[in-house]
């Protein structure tokens, strides 16, 4: 089996809230099953652990909004909103569909409240770009904090999406994966 690792308790000190397992996403309907698991390639899971370790002493917790996204799900998202500034064309493939990308934000570890990032996850507007100064200063600081944690842990970032991080050299080193690699743990809503 392809080395995908389940992300969540007890092995990973993160909060998992997969946006595409609910109707609370830009498509307005679930793309994944409601009980879909959160998965990453083993190499990406190691980088995630490092980011968790960096966030913990700062009183922060990572909240995973998406991770492995089967190629079928990428087509569903693309067919709904074919916007190459915010979605990878499934003909080229998404880093999510390789299991080496993660969408996330930050939570206060004590209160559990999300830090303000200036836009919602998957807000397909220029305000979602890193370095956008049309958002409050606190939101800019929170984005920089997330970027600092993730890049220090070894992740690359997407300049259009404050929430998206991926492994370096992922296009060359990891294949695209379909939902079938998970067998009975498949993610896709039917």
Annotated catalytic residues are 161
- Count CA within 13 A, CB hemisphere, residue 177: 29
Whole-angstrom distance, CA of residue 101 vs CA of residue 25: 18
Task: Please provide residue 30's backbone torsions phi and psi, each rounded to the nearest 5 degrees.
Answer: -65, 140
Which tokens go with 42? 């083993």
Rounded (10°) angle between helices 42-55 and 137-152:
130
């Amino acid at each position: 089996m392809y080395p995908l690792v389940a992300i969540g308790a007890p092995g990973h000190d993160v909060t998992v809230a997969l946006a595409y397992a609910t109707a609370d996403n830009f498509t307005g309907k679930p793309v994944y099953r409601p009980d879909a698991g959160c998965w990453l390639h083993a190499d990406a899971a190691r980088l995630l652990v490092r980011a968790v370790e960096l966030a913990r002493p700062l009183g922060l917790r990572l909240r995973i909004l998406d991770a492995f996204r089967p190629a079928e799900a990428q087509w569903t998202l693309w067919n709904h909103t074919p916007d190459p500034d915010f979605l990878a064309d499934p003909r080229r493939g998404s880093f999510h569909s390789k299991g080496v990308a993660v969408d996330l934000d930050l939570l206060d570890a004590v209160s559990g409240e999300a830090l303000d990032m200036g836009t919602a996850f998957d807000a397909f507007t220029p305000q979602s770009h890193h370095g956008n100064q049309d958002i409050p200063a606190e939101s800019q600081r929170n984005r920089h904090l997330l970027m600092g944690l993730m890049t220090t842990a070894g992740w690359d970032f997407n300049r259009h999406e404050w929430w998206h991080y991926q492994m370096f050299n992922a296009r060359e080193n990891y294949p695209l994966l379909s939902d079938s690699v998970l067998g009975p743990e498949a993610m896709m809503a039917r």
